[in-house]
Amino acid sequence: MPEKSNLRLLVEDAAGERRCQICIAGGGPAGMMLGLLLARSGIRVTVLEKHSDFFRDFRGDTIHPSTLEILDELGMLDEFLKLPHQEVRQLRGQIGDTTLTLADFTHLPVRCKFLAFMPQWDFLNFLAERARAYAGFQLEMESEVTGLTFDGERVTGVRVRTPAGVREVSADLVVGTDGRESTVRAAAALPSIEFGAPMDVLWMRISRKPSDPGQLLGRVDYGQIFVMIDRGDYWQCGLVVRKGALAEIQRRGLDALRADIQRLAPFLGDRVSDLRDWNDIKLLTVQVDRLRRWYRDGVLCIGDAAHAMSPVAGVGINLAIQDAVAAANILVPALRDSGTASNAALAAVQERRELPTKVTQRAQLLIQNGIIRRVLGRGREGRMAPPLIIRILGGVPLFRRIPARLVGLGFRREHVMTQPA
């Protein structure tokens, strides 16, 4: 591994303009993984992240087996697994009084036959620390991309707001990894397809006791869906609600919400009082969309900036990581051959990743518009029982491998093809 260096990856041309080869807008999973892979291959890359750190509560934090394989290919897995995390080898859920094993990862053809639950900030800090070992990498925090710069129709860089003021960074290629509300894709005027979603999610923390039941992905009952993720000393909880229902829930009052949660997870008891006011509850507005075209001359979008995913099955991070690996595999040879990433190379990234995106979104939409919409439409009265197809999948061990493969590995796995410089 190269020695650590304090060399800046931004260089100045004869006019004193700040410039880099690749400028990545957004320090999420896609941006940090792409930055690491590019710097590892000798490409000068800047990642611009608008926040001062990676600490954001209630972000996606499911590290899938396919992502763990990527880390293994990079020689980083053993060190990564030393970080605090929970390993889930089977996904279990409760529908009414029936507990079912819905997915079994122990038969996957990979080294890590489990999901790793880890706070996203730990994952991002890990990637950033490894990327800083390369002289060509720079991560600039508190640097918010507010727009693009152009020369005619070609994107030539970004405008950045920092504590020191507004500046411009020129780049051979701008990569938008700045999430579902992407500034880059809006500024590039890339048209999208909106699919809608029947739900939103209310995220919250509730303290955990050692005597609590083991990891249970969630419970479906009384016309509600409640997700619980073990965080050691607390549960990260998500209550799935109808799209736009927050105002109605707030009118019912916090006591009514606490009562709903207590009914769904009776073992929590009076710990629902951890929810002291509405500031303890964060709304995730669910949206599902996809760009028709992920690029234009000088700019490329990947991850949520190219395709906002539903939280169903927690596959958003996995898809973003796979996008980053595919992008690096295609961009690095192009940059080494010609020094620039042609539109043909950018089109190749979309072509490589568009089918798995479409297939994944189609599966999510089927679940959202079928199962989830029906559950949320029942109202809060009346117990629920698992539908026949769920009983079959959960009752036959062989069938549990199907959702495990779809969730754990996804469609069209990517492998690290680039070599260190």
Q: What is the pLDDT of residues 286-311, one digit of tens each?
A: 889 999 999 999 999 999 999 999 88
**Percent of the chain clearing pLDDT 90 (strictly above):** 64
pLDDT for residue 13: 41
pLDDT for residue 92: 84
Q: Indicate if the pLDDT at residue 247 is higher than 90.
A: yes
Pairing of strands 45-48, 137-140: parallel
Pick from 48, 40, 111, 41: nearest CA to 408? 111
Tell me the two tokens of residue 386. Answer: 């698992």
- Among the residue ranges 1-10, 83-92, 226-235, 283-292, the one predicted with the least confidence is 1-10
Res. 421 pLDDT band, cuts 50 70 90? confident
Average pLDDT over residues 3-21: 47
C-alpha to C-alpha distance for 321 and 17, rounded to whole angstroms: 32
Q: How far apart are the first and last CA of the chain?
A: 10
pLDDT for residue 328: 98
Mean pLDDT of the chain: 89
Strand order in the sheet with 62-63: 62-63, 115-117, 86-88
> Which of 1-10, 206-215, 253-262, 392-401: highest mean pLDDT?
253-262
- Among the residue ranges 91-100, 244-253, 380-389, the one predicted with the least confidence is 380-389
Kind plus residue range of the DSSP H or E element containing 352: helix 343-366
Residue 26 is classified by DSSP as -
Pick from 291, 360, 303: nearest CA to 328? 303
| Full DSSP string of 70-89 | HHHHTT-HHHHTTSS-EEES
Name the residue ranges covered by the structural domains of the chain.
Answer: 11-195+287-408, 199-242+244-284
Q: At what angle do helices 65-73 and 316-338 cross, to 10 degrees?
A: 30
Res. 183 pLDDT band, cuts 50 70 90? very high
Those residues whose C-beta lies under 8 Å from the C-beta of residue 154, and which sit 6 or more positions away, are: 297, 298
C-alpha to C-alpha distance for 304 and 290, rounded to whole angstroms: 9
C-alpha to C-alpha distance for 176 and 206, rounded to whole angstroms: 35
pLDDT for residue 6: 31
pLDDT for residue 24: 98
Those residues whose C-beta lies under 8 Å from the C-beta of residue 350, and which sit 6 or more positions away, are: 293, 294, 295, 306
C-alpha to C-alpha distance for 349 and 246, rounded to whole angstroms: 38
Average pLDDT over residues 250-256: 96
Rg (CA), the chain: 22
pLDDT for residue 9: 37
Res. 80 pLDDT band, cuts 50 70 90? very high
C-alpha to C-alpha distance for 15 and 106, rounded to whole angstroms: 58
Those residues whose C-beta lies under 8 Å from the C-beta of residue 381, and which sit 6 or more positions away, are: 222, 223
Q: How many CB atoms lie within 10 A of CB 367?
A: 13
- Among the residue ranges 84-88, 152-156, 328-332, the one predicted with the least confidence is 84-88
C-alpha to C-alpha distance for 185 and 155, rounded to whole angstroms: 12
C-alpha to C-alpha distance for 372 and 365, rounded to whole angstroms: 10
Span 21-78, pLDDT tens digits: 999 999 999 999 999 999 999 999 999 999 988 876 656 678 999 999 999 999 999 9
Q: What is the reported pTM?
A: 0.89
Phi/psi for 316 (5° steps) reads -60, -45
C-alpha to C-alpha distance for 200 and 61, rounded to whole angstroms: 18
The arrangement of secondary structure in 11-195+287-408, i.e. its CATH architecture, is 3-Layer(bba) Sandwich (3.50)
pLDDT for residue 375: 86
pLDDT for residue 340: 84
Q: How many CA atoms lie within 13 A of 373 on its CB side?
A: 10
pLDDT for residue 216: 64
